[in-house]
Structure 1
Amino acid sequence: MTSAEARKESELALVKPFLGTGALSAANLFDVKGWVCVVTGGGTGLGLVTAAALAENGAKVYITGRRLETLEAAAKTAAPTSGPGKIIPVQADAATKEGVQKMRDAVAKDEKWLNLLVNIERLTAQSGQSVNRQIVQDALAQWESERVKRKPPNSFGRVFNPHKRQKTARGAILFWSCTSPSNFSLGSLPVQGPLTEDHGISLPHAEPDQTDNSPEALAKEMFENETYEHWLDAYRTNTASYYFTTWAFVPLLSAARTEGGAAEPGNIVNISSMSGVTRTSQRGQFSAATISLTDQLAFELARRALGIRVNTICPGYFPSGMSVFPPDRVSDPEAHAAEWREKWGVPFARAGTARDYAQCIFGIVTNGYQTGSHVIIDGGWLLEQAF
């Protein structure tokens, strides 16, 4: 064999074993048929999108959350009309160790292995209080009627105030922020505030006084208006729950290969948010902790040669249980392209869709060589923002 022939043979070595086998078809590359999956926080938002997409493609999906009625309604609504896929509700609070054990036991009762665990943030209300959705809708109506226009800078080097706020007549607090898909986003203003569903918004109580930048005023505001209890509650719900849920399911995830006959053990996807990358939201501290936790989990499981992969998805703007946009912004983004680009800082000029998200997560969960990664899906939003 000449050197040229040897080089050509070497170039083909990567792909040659798969040619003509059908292994590179999309149907085989992203096949989850017959998988057993758990999606925490699967009753609403991106959790429900995850469950619906997996079930639609033949997976058996357990969705968990605090409110059984929400889970049962989601399972009924998102159940596939044909095929073997199904969605099974399990009431359990992942923010407590007892809840995680209940979740694991419910799955282990009927399953010998687990192919996929998806941890979705379940944000909590400030001090356990909720802001009624109608109050936020009324606040938006007032905001729109006054035609208040705000435009956040979206280029490098500019000062960006992520928490400029204004009280409405109904008492809801409107936070100007474009940092996270968890913003309760209405109109040209994302509104951050607790919802009355499984998901609420978890933000520190403290908000800096933008008119007084003295260190004394800042320290007073951020110290006196915050509590250890709230911080620990938010951390427990949004980060610690991922840790305990992951380790509770490791034996079942490992058994996907040894008992289930899969080519690899089960894998884990943690859903964080863009606020954990940009650091322009106080909630970002918990999202960043989730990203760091993913690194730690991926490392620990890799170095023990268990083969269990762990990755993070950091979504941008997605209409979900925690992010509600006016219908025309979503259904007709071209008519609002300038608003998406200039006010929201999204170069692709639209919100993400369920299809966008499903394509992203399917690529991760079926890629047996990917672990410890943080996948950003934001329509180019991060490209416009200063770190």
Structure 2
Amino acid sequence: MSEQELQAQNLFDVSGFVAVVTGGGSGIGLMATQTLAANGARVYIIGRRQEVLNRVAERYSSKGQIFPIQGDISDTASIRAIAADLEKREEKGINILVNNSGVSPELKAKEESTQIDFTDPHAVGQWMVRDGVEAWRESYAGNVAAHHFLTAALLPLLRKGGQAIPGHSSAIINISSAAGITKTHSQGQFAYSSSKAAFLHLTKEWAHTFVPLRIRANCIAPGLFPTEMTTGVSDENQKSRLEGAGFHFPAGRVGKETDIGSALLYLASRAGTYVNGQVVHVDGGLLLKSPSTE
């Protein structure tokens, strides 16, 4: 192997690659989008809010290009439309799929999590179901099923993309959460955390299933990052802020763009072609201090 092949700009090169990022308009999805576009990839961002997608495309296109596709991946008809649109635009397929979008509907339980008397079974039982059955349906539909159906629809494009670039296998990168690994109650978000655990397992099932297709599936499990889910809002640049948080993590801070970007580039580029079915914990050391399943 030549010295040139070992240089970082070649190992982690994604220039000319085609990527699809769900929920690419804010939070971790935007971090992924920025990273891929800054390194020369052509990125399609999918989301329900057209104005947000347009804003991102206008502000963050650099070496690569960012194209908005409005769609709801929890709806099968919308998924078919997204797949058909991508097939028309990218005859040689796609190389990277980042399944990032997610939901966290247990707002009431989260608000009450610091007020629960954990020695009172009635109080704990009521708190566990505070947001009702619908929160469970929404969590599993948005955090697991939507990605499953979208990925199934895009498999032919991922297969084409892998065949178009010698030495690279198409990469699916799922964004789960450290909440799917820790044994804590996640502030009462039992539906959210268990759905993220399901997404971790689904990643491993996909990796095994897609071996004949030469499509890799890996997962990033982030810790605490500034997103609309954790802060509730984004600013005019579609960015969120978390002030005074993360000091109790070994890293001493919350996550930032470069943390997601470096892990994403590793899994998406030639550097990660020998990695399949794995979970990368990008959590600032959270799992070193919290009881976890790993």
Could you state the TM-score of these two structures normalised by the residue count of structure 2? 0.86
> 2:134 maps to what in 1?
229
The reply on whether 1:49 has 2:28 as its aligned counterpart is no
Q: Which residue of 2 aligns with 1:101?
A: 80
What's the counterpart of residue 244 of structure 1? 149
CA distance in 2, matches of 1:77, 1:246: 28
Measured after TM superposition, the shift of residue 221 of structure 1 is 5.0
Of Structure 1 and Structure 2, which has the larger fraction of its residues in helix? 2
- One-letter identity of the residue aligned with 2:251: F
Q: Structure 1: 5+ residue runs without aligned partners? A: 1-17, 132-162, 166-172, 177-207, 330-338
Q: SS in structure 2 opposite 1:114?
A: coil
Q: SS state of the match for residue 21, structure 2?
A: strand
Correspondent of 2:15 among 33, 37, 40: 33
Distance 2:29 2:97 in 1: 11
- Distance, in Å, in 1 between the alignment partners of 2:178 and 2:243 is 24
Residue identity in the other structure for 1:362: L
> Is this contact kept in 1: 2:57–2:67, CA < 8 A?
yes
Q: 1:377 to 1:93 in 2, by over 3 A?
A: same
Mapping for residues 275-286 of structure 1, pairs under 5 Å? 275-280=179-184, 281=186, 282=190, 283-286=192-195
Distance in 2 between the 1:219 and 1:125 partners?
18
Identity rate of aligned residues, in percent?
A: 33
Give the direction of change, closer, same or farther, for the CA distance of 1:220–1:326 in structure 2 (3 Å limit). closer
Partner of residue 214, structure 2: 307
Q: 1:109 to 1:26 in 2, by over 3 A?
A: same
User: 2:172 touches 2:218 (CA, 8 Å); kept in 1?
Assistant: yes
Question: TM-score normalised to the size of structure 1?
Answer: 0.66
Deviation of the 1:323 alpha carbon: 3.2
2:267 aligned partner: 364
| Alpha-carbon shift at residue 175 of structure 1 (Å) | 4.7
> Is contact 2:23–2:101 with CA below 8 Å preserved after alignment?
yes
Contact kept, 8 Å, 1:121 with 1:272, in 2: the verdict is no
Answer yes or no: is the 8 Å Cα contact 2:25–2:53 preserved in 1: yes
1:317-366 per-residue CA deviation (whole Å, 9 max, x = no partner) reads 2223333476764xxxxxxxxx744xxx3011112221121011111112
Cα RMSD (Å) of the superposition? 2.4
- The residue aligned with 2:160 is 255
Residue 221 (structure 2) pairs with residue 318 (structure 1): no
Letter in 1 for 2:263: C
Q: Are the structure 2 counterparts of residues 99 and 217 from structure 1 closer, same or farther at C-alpha, using a change threshold of 3 Å?
A: same
Task: Determine the structure 2 residue equivalent to 1:378.
Answer: 283
Query: CA deviation digits over 1:136-171, x for unaligned, max 9?
Result: xxxxxxxxxxxxxxxxxxxxxxxxxxx7x6xxxxxx
Can you give the 5+ residue segments of structure 2 that lack an aligned partner in the other structure?
A: 232-239
Aligned residue-pair number: 276
Q: Which has the larger radius of gyration?
A: 1
